[in-house]
Amino acid sequence: MENERSSLARVPGGHSRHNTGVWSRGVGENLIAKLFLFCALVAVFSVLLITVFIFISGWPIIARYGTAFIFGSRWYPTQGVFGILPMIAGTFSVVLGALLLGVPMGLAGAIFLAEIAPSRVAKIVRPAVELLAGIPSVVYGFFGMIILVPLIREYLGGVGYSVLAGSVILAVMILPTIITISEASLRAVPAEFKEGSLALGATHWQTISRILLPAASSGIIASIVLGMARAIGETMAVIMVTGNVTRVPGSILDPVRTLTGNIVMEMGYATGEHQQALFATGIVLFVFIVLLNLLVNFISRRATEIG
């Protein structure tokens, strides 16, 4: 009887069905691993290709003008004058304003969802926050043009198209990033931290401010840095509400132009050195984003080492 079972378990070639199944699974897993490797290599190659293309196209202007390109305050492409300091100042003023407005709101929203909100409320608020990330940027820009800019013009003065308008719009746009990652970081803190703090007599707010927030600080900082990267790279909404004037802003009510806005507005008709200068602007922007990504990776490694 056992001989019959043994003969039934055999397949042509002398291999058992079990061994054949294991071999098939091994081949399948090997193919999937190679497919994933191929996808990863495509991603790396794409980044390298874009990097090489940008540097080849824009580096001649940086090599020709040197620091005058970055620190020059005049941008007159038709006269061969290329200074992107106004755009750098405009970018950082808008991004800084967005962080000053968005980070407190985002952190408060994350604390509310992670520690305070009842489950019914959280089920409503959390999808609403996620929906903010899916709204096209042009919709934010259109809202800013129709609602925000006239309000600033009427109640605060100026032309309305300003650093303040861009900062408010970007603050709303970075909220999903900050709230989502910060909430996940707060929820990842071991429950023993909270329970121990409450058991020692601390109030709920003292536990949040002195125990949970410091414990989740690496994730919170990472969310802020990623939100900053999103704000720096934003184009369409910023173009629609900032006024696009190439001068260093003197107040939050002055119009400005950002690095991304400068590229988008002029690339369509730029030629020769003008086009190279726009690619060089892309190099500066690319370097900023790379530095932010390195900062995020450093924070993540530090958090892993501490943990």
Placement of tokens 């408060």 in the chain: 108
Indicate the pTM of the whole model: 0.83
Rounded distance between C-alpha atoms, residue 220 and residue 305, angstroms: 17
Phi, psi of 94 (to 5 degrees): -70, -45
pLDDT in the model for residue 2: 47
Give the strand pairing for 75-76 and 81-82.
antiparallel
Helix axes 259-266, 85-111, angle to 10 degrees: 120
pLDDT of residue 24: 65
Task: Decide if 102 contacts 170 (C-beta within 8 A).
Answer: yes
Cβ within 8 Å of residue 111, ≥6 positions away: 182, 186, 208, 213
Q: What is the pLDDT along the chain (307 residues), one digit of tens a residue?
A: 445 445 444 444 445 555 666 666 667 788 888 899 999 999 999 989 999 999 999 999 998 988 889 998 899 988 888 999 999 999 999 999 999 999 999 999 999 999 998 989 989 999 999 888 888 999 999 999 999 999 999 999 889 899 999 999 999 999 999 999 999 999 999 889 888 988 888 889 999 999 999 888 888 988 988 898 889 888 889 999 999 988 899 899 999 999 999 999 998 888 889 999 999 999 999 888 888 778 777 776 776 665 5
> What three-state secondary structure class fits 75?
strand
Residue 213 phi/psi, 5° resolution?
Answer: -65, -45
Give which of 197, 196, 198, 180 is closest to 188, Cα–Cα.
180
Q: What are phi and psi of 251, to 5 degrees?
A: -155, 175
What pLDDT is stored for residue 11 in this prediction?
46
Looking at 135-216, list the stretches that DSSP marks H as alpha helix, in order from N- to C-terminal side: 137-143, 149-155, 163-188, 191-199, 204-207, 213-215
Measured between alpha carbons, how far is 142 from 123 in angstroms, rounded to an integer? 29
Separation between Cα atoms, residue 196 and residue 169, nearest integer Å = 41
Amino acid at 90: G
- Gyration radius of the chain over CA positions: 27
Q: What is the pLDDT of residue 87?
A: 93
Residue type at 157 in one-letter notation: G
